[in-house]
């Protein structure tokens, strides 16, 4: 019995050690599982973090694009406002020009009526009329001059005076006006002189130019301004009228006819200007 007890006592530490080794193995396995779980969680978190960074980058880019689009829209809005302001200013200028042209036409019509009222009514004008005798004929090289009843018409081609559909005098047109003004002051110094603008039959392009009535009136006014300021013709001797395409001298059926009809006529009346 003692031998058996001794043997048992000797086995007890071995059994205890085996149990301890088994417990340690289990603890190591548990720790390894926990480590693997933690590593997997770390990988998941790292992946989620990467996804969040990608989304943040995309959102930042979208935000930058939105800011750029907003800035562009603001700039376009400012450009639109500037264009609206410029258009309003242009409309105000056009309205003022139309009002000025209308006023000038009213004044020219009044002057024409005044000049016409001074002319004898009911009188028959013939080649032997004393009125015709009061208006001697003149000639100016390159200028068409014709007798029309009791008035003399000095025809100035608009194409020699102005740019196409413009009331601005061309360079070099001053010489023609100076020559004509000199002859008028020599021969018709005391006479009333009408300045009549005429166009061809072509209508103005809507929105791109003056009407024929406005253009003819403005061209006549430009000639009047030159005669008064440069040639020293008394302003009280002159009056302006714009007839547009209403009084052609030849047919408008050909380009040559239209060119002839584009003109400014200096109409010398037998009536003398008031002093």
Number of H helices, E strands in the chain: 6, 5
Domain CATH number, residue 203 = 3.30.1330.60
Question: pLDDT tier at 84 (50, 70, 90 boundaries)?
Answer: confident
Q: Which residues are bridge partners to 197 per DSSP?
A: 242, 264
The reply to whether 188 and 83 lie within a common domain is no
Q: Which residues are bridge partners to 157 per DSSP?
A: 263
The reply to whether 53 and 130 lie within a common domain is no
The reply to whether 265 and 214 lie within a common domain is yes
The reply to whether 90 and 154 lie within a common domain is no
Mean pLDDT of all residues belonging to the chain: 80
Between residues 135 and 159, the one the model is more confident about: 159
- Structural domains of the chain, count: 2
The reply to whether 130 and 228 lie within a common domain is yes
What single DSSP character describes residue 264? E
The reply to whether 131 and 96 lie within a common domain is no
pLDDT digits 0-9 by tens, 210-254: 899 999 999 999 999 999 999 999 999 999 999 999 999 999 999
Note the residue count of the chain.
Answer: 275
Domain span at residue 37?
Answer: 1-106
Q: Please, how many CA atoms are within 13 Å of residue 257, restricted to the half-sphere of its CB?
A: 11
Phi first, then psi: give them for residue 247, nearest 5 degrees. Answer: -130, 70
Q: Is residue 115 part of a domain?
A: no
d(CA 20, CA 166): 116
Between residues 39 and 227, the one the model is more confident about: 227
- Which residue, of 43, 71, 106, is where some domain finishes? 106
Cα-to-chain-centroid distance, residue 253: 33
Q: Is residue 82 part of a domain?
A: yes
Question: Given the structure tokens 């059926």, which residue do they identify?
Answer: 253
């Amino acid at each position: 019995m003692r031998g058996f007890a001794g043997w048992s006592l000797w086995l007890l530490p071995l059994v205890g050690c085996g149990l301890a080794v088994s417990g340690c193995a289990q603890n190591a396995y548990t720790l390894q599982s926990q480590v693997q779980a933690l590593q997997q969680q770390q990988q998941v978190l790292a992946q989620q973090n990467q996804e969040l960074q990608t989304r943040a980058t995309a959102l930042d880019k979208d935000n930058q694009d939105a800011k750029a689009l907003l800035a562009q829209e603001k700039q376009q809005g400012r450009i639109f406002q500037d264009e609206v302001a410029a258009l309003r200013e242009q409309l105000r200028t056009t309205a003022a020009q139309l009002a000025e042209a209308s006023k000038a036409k009213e004044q020219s019509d009044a002057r024409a009526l005044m000049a016409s009222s001074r002319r004898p009514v009911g009188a028959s004008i013939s080649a032997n009329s004393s009125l015709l005798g009061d208006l001697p004929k003149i000639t100016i090289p390159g200028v068409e001059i014709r007798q029309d009843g009791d008035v003399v018409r000095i025809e100035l081609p608009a194409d020699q005076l102005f740019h196409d559909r413009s009331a601005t005098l061309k360079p070099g047109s001053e010489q023609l006006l100076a020559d004509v003004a000199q002859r008028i002051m020599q021969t018709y110094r005391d006479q009333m002189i009408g300045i009549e603008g005429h166009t061809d039959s072509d209508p103005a392009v809507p929105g791109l130019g003056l009407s024929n009535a406005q253009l003819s009136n403005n061209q006549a006014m430009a000639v009047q301004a030159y005669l008064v300021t440069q040639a020293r013709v008394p302003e009280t001797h002159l009056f302006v009228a714009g007839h547009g395409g209403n009084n052609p001298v030849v047919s408008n059926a050909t380009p040559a006819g239209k060119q002839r009809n584009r003109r400014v006529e200096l109409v010398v009346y037998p009536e003398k200007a008031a002093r």
